[in-house]
Amino acid sequence: MTTDTTVPSRPLAGTVALVAGATRGAGRAIAVQLGAAGATVYATGRTTRRHTSEVGRPTETVEETAELVTAAGGQGVAVPTDHLEPEQVRALVDRVDREQGRLDVLVNSLWGGDHLLKFGVKMWDTDLDEGLRMLDLGIRSHAITSHIALPLLIRRPGGLVVEMTDGTAEYNRRFRENFFFDLAKNAPLRMAFALAHDLEDAGCTAVALTPGFLRSEEMLDHFGVREENWRDACAREPHFAIAESPVYVGRGVAALAADPGKSRRSGQSLSSAQLAQEYGFTDADGSRPDAWAYFRDVVHGGKQASADAYR
């Protein structure tokens, strides 16, 4: 009888990460996958077991995210935080400094503006308060968090900042059908570019990263399906066949964080599919979907091909 003594790889053991906006979706999956690689992860959000934010759902809380991180093999720490409140962010970063003395990975996965989004409405016909709120949620929150957290991250070389957005730089040359949404989703691309310059002397890296067509918890509920039967939604929305689970982009961040040569990517716009091709990981079902190539070639380019050809 042979005993298997193989120890699972934990390339991020000793790494300290802060995932801002980790209550659900991509942020939650990123936090969990960083934990699976051995990291200590501070998970933040506004929905807790005692309070549901205006965009939150009581079924997804920041405490649950932290528990999932720990169950995956890391150490999860839940810190309820409103990232539009600088004092709350300062308290968060002070806690990370006090408890860990370092910060190696910062993921800005802050948004929450989908409920305000109306496609096809002219800029001047958009409610101004709602439009500016989208900019607060998608831009100002990122800037506040980076401004306060980066002095801790740059204490050591090798740090990584990930600006989460929707759409690659190539795809976002197209108008995103709403003035305020277009700004909110293009800004992180430029933030990563600018931060790459500011972080260079400290030996740290900044990238912008987008998932593809994300099978988030909210999207699955929208189509009335679960992860187990998600393909049933393709009858209603054929393009959903290219959808990817949040695990995919989570694995991408973990792989990038563990790469000692990640600085070659600094300032770039990346997608989950690009990282999968480079690092060799797959989505939870073993596929490698490339939603942005599919949208470029098939949806907008007129190519005759099925979504399965891009998986």
- pLDDT tens by residue, 11-38: 999 999 999 999 999 999 999 999 999 9
pLDDT score for 3: 39
Query: Residue type at 225?
Result: V
Secondary structure (H, E, C), the chain: CCCCCCCCCCCCCCCEEEEECCCCHHHHHHHHHHHHCCCEEEEEECCCCCCCCCCCCCCCCHHHHHHHHHHHCCEEEEEECCCCCHHHHHHHHHHHHHHHCCCCEEEECCCCCHHHCCCCCCHHHCCHHHHHHHHHHHHHHHHHHHHHHHHHHCCCCCCEEEEECCCCCCHHHCCCCCHHHHHHHHHHHHHHHHHHHHHHHHCCEEEEEECCCECCHHHHHHHCCCHHHHHHHHHCCHHHHHCECHHHHHHHHHHHHHCCCHHHHCCCEEEHHHHHHHHCCCCCCCCCCCHHHHHHHHHCCCCCCCHHHHC
Report yes or no: 78 and 133 within 8 Å, Cβ to Cβ: no
CA–centroid distance for 22 within its chain: 8
Nearest Cα neighbor of 65 from 28, 91, 96 is 28
Within 13 Å and on the Cβ side, how many CA atoms surround 275? 28
Task: Flag residues of the chain having pLDDT under 70.
Answer: 1-8
pTM of the model: 0.95
Distance of alpha carbon 303 from alpha carbon 311, whole angstroms = 16
- Give the domains, in start order, of the chain with CATH numbers: 16-221+245-289 (3.40.50.720)
Burial of 7 (0-12, 13-18, 19+ CB in 10 A): exposed
Tell me the angle at which helices 179-199 and 128-135 cross, rounded to the nearest 10 degrees: 20
Query: Residue type at 294?
Result: Y
Q: Which residue has the tokens 């393009």?
A: 239
pLDDT score for 198: 98
pLDDT score for 9: 80
